[in-house]
Amino acid sequence: MISVLDDGPSQAECICQTLSKAGHMCHSFSEGKAFVHPLLRQTFDLLVLDWNVSDMPGDEVLRWARQSLPPCCS
């Protein structure tokens, strides 16, 4: 499962369509705060982050994920 953060609807749709055609399940979010809530409930294999999202930019989401989520690999 792949989670995409992008506040551009056409960009997010293009990313998810491309990933879906490659056989991946994809969920997209247009707001950083909405993006982080599912991360607490389920595991994603990959996070695709837009650095320029207004409410919680991708770099803040990445910082939050590194501090708040358990390590995925040893």
Q: Tell me which residue of 54, 56, 2 sits closest to 28, measured CA to CA.
A: 2
Amino acid identity of 20? S
For residues 8-19, average pLDDT: 96
Write the pLDDT tens digit of every residue in 18-71.
999 999 999 999 999 999 999 989 989 999 999 999 899 999 999 999 998 887
* Residue 72 predicted with pLDDT over 80: no
Whether residue 44 lies inside any domain: the answer is: yes
* Rounded-to-10 torsion of CA 37, 41, 46, 49: 0
pTM (2 d.p.)? 0.86
Q: How many structural domains compose the chain?
A: 1
Domain that holds residue 32: 2-68
Q: How far is the C-alpha of 74 from the C-alpha of 54, rounded, in Å? A: 33
State residue 73's pLDDT score.
Answer: 60
Whether residue 22 lies inside any domain: the answer is: yes
Domain of residue 31, CATH code: 3.40.50.2300
Whether residue 73 lies inside any domain: the answer is: no
* Residue 74 predicted with pLDDT over 60: no
Whether residue 23 lies inside any domain: the answer is: yes
